[in-house]
Amino acid sequence: MKLNYPGEYIIEKCSISATSGRTIDVTSLVASINIFEDIFRTSITGDISLVDTNQLLTSLPIIGQEKLLLKLSTPQSTVADRSRSLDFTEYPLYIYKVDAAARVNEGTDAYTLSFTTAEAIRSNRIRVSQAFEGEPAVDIVQKIIRDEDLLNSKKEFYYEETANNYKFVSPNMRPLDFINAITKRSLSAKYNFAPTFVFYETCKGFFFRSIDSMMDRKNVRAVFLEDTPNLEQTDVSRMMMSMIDYNIVSSTNVMANMRKGMYASNLLMIDLVNKTVENFNYNYFDSFEEGEKEDVHIDEHASSYVSDSKPLASECKDDFGNFLVDYDQSATYMQAVDRDQPGGLYSVRHTGTFDYTGTDSWLQRRKGRFAAMDAAITLNITVHGQTSFSAGDLIGINIQNKNPQVADQGAGDPYYSGRYLITKLRHKFTQGDGQSKHTCHMQVVRDTVTQAYPANGVSVFDGGTPVDQLIPLGEEDPSPSLY
pTM > 0.95: no
What pLDDT does 292 receive?
58
What pLDDT does 1 receive?
63
What pLDDT does 471 receive?
80
What pLDDT does 406 receive?
57
| Residue segments in the chain with a per-residue pLDDT below the cut of 50 | 77-81, 304-305, 341-351, 407
What pLDDT does 236 receive?
78
3-state SS record for the chain: CCCCCCCCCEEEEEEEECCCCCEEECHHHEEEEEEEEECCCCCCEEEEEEEECCCCCCCCCCCCCCEEEEEEECCCCCCCCCCCEEEEEEEEEEEEEEEEEEEEECCEEEEEEEEEEHHHHHHCCCCEEEEEEEEEHHHHHHHHHHCCCCCCCCCCEEECCECCEEEEEEEEECHHHHHHHHHHCCCECCCCCCCCEEEEEECCEEEEEEHHHHHCCCCCCCEEECCCCCCCCCCHHHHHCECCEEEEECCCCHHHHHHHCCCEEEEEEEECCCCEEEEEEEEHHHHHCCCCCCCCCCCCCCCCCCCCCECCCCCCCCCCCCCHHHCHHHCEEEEEECCCCCCCCCCCCCCCCCCCCCHHHCHHHHHHHHHHHHCCEEEEEEEECCCCCCCCCEEEEECECCCCCCCCCCCECCCCCEEEEEEEEEEEEEEECCEEEEEEEEEEEECCECCCCCCCCCCCCCCCCCCCCCCCCHHHCCCCCCC
What pLDDT does 290 receive?
65
What pLDDT does 475 receive?
65
What pLDDT does 293 receive?
64
What pLDDT does 355 receive?
65
Cis ω for the linkage preceding 61 (within 30 of 0): yes
What pLDDT does 231 receive?
52
What pLDDT does 271 receive?
82
Instruction: Mention every residue, 6+ apart, whose C-beta is less than 8 A from residue 420.
Output: 298, 379, 394, 395, 396, 397, 444, 445, 446
pLDDT tens digits along 195-247 = 999 999 999 999 999 999 999 998 999 999 886 555 555 567 778 888 999 99
